[in-house]
Amino acid sequence: MTRILVAYGSTEGQTATIADRMGDVLAAEGHDVTLVHLNHPPAGLEPGSYDGVIVGGSIHMGSHQQYVTDFVHDQQTTLNRLPSAFFSVSLSSASADPEARSAAEGLLEEFLEETGWDPDGTLAVAGALKYSEYGLLKRFVMRRIARKSGGDTDVSRDHEYTDWDAVEAFAAEFATLL
């Protein structure tokens, strides 16, 4: 049985949900999966002790979480040696506007350049608007951004845009690398 580390950063919870789904797919394939939120990693986390690593982060205000960037930068040699993959979560990936989707892909590529990581696979995936979890100011700002980009502006409920078929396919494809 191969051991896979799924390490992620999540600000509002959607990236954690996506990482969890990937873990379920990999476990169903017979792998031993460890999920780790990189903002609170366990002491002594050693990615090199795994057979493969998937890392995920979400884009907020034009960049991924700094602690995800630091982890990848610090573990670059190990990640480049092992089968590895990266997924990037953003609302821009849900946009009908090709330029917005291209911008999300560009931020993913910038992340890889900045960290020196060359993963075996990447996925830019849409996140969610979690209006119910936002404070008044953030709800106002996110609604304004959603209106400008043609997204959902009904703040009485949350809106999920994640393509779960793409997430599951990404995890299943990663399993074939092991």
**149 is in which domain, residue-wise?**
129-161
What residues have CB less than 8 Å from 123, skipping those under 6 apart?
85, 86, 87, 88, 166, 167, 170
Among candidates 148, 146, 150, which has minimal Cα distance to 134? 146
Asked if 34 and 97 sit in the same domain, the reply is yes
Q: How many domains does the chain have?
A: 2
Asked if 167 and 148 sit in the same domain, the reply is no
Regarding predicted confidence, which is higher, 65 or 93?
A: 65
Asked if 94 and 53 sit in the same domain, the reply is yes
Asked if 95 and 42 sit in the same domain, the reply is yes
Asked if 142 and 113 sit in the same domain, the reply is no
The pLDDT tens digits of the residues spanning 121-155 come to 999 999 998 898 888 998 888 888 788 777 888 88
Asked if 23 and 111 sit in the same domain, the reply is yes
Asked if 48 and 94 sit in the same domain, the reply is yes
Asked if 168 and 80 sit in the same domain, the reply is yes
Asked if 39 and 89 sit in the same domain, the reply is yes
Is-contact 91 127, C-beta < 8 A? yes
Q: Which of 4-8, 92-96, 173-177 has the lowest mean pLDDT?
A: 92-96
Asked if 97 and 11 sit in the same domain, the reply is yes
Task: Report angle CA 5, 82, 67 to the nearest 5 degrees.
Answer: 50
CATH of the domain at 106: 3.40.50.360
Asked if 148 and 71 sit in the same domain, the reply is no
Q: Measured between alpha carbons, how far is 39 from 58 in angstroms, rounded to an integer?
A: 13
Asked if 93 and 110 sit in the same domain, the reply is yes
| pLDDT for the residue numbered 100 | 77
Please report which confidence band the pLDDT of residue 10 belongs to, taking 50, 70 and 90 as the band edges. very high
| pLDDT for the residue numbered 40 | 94
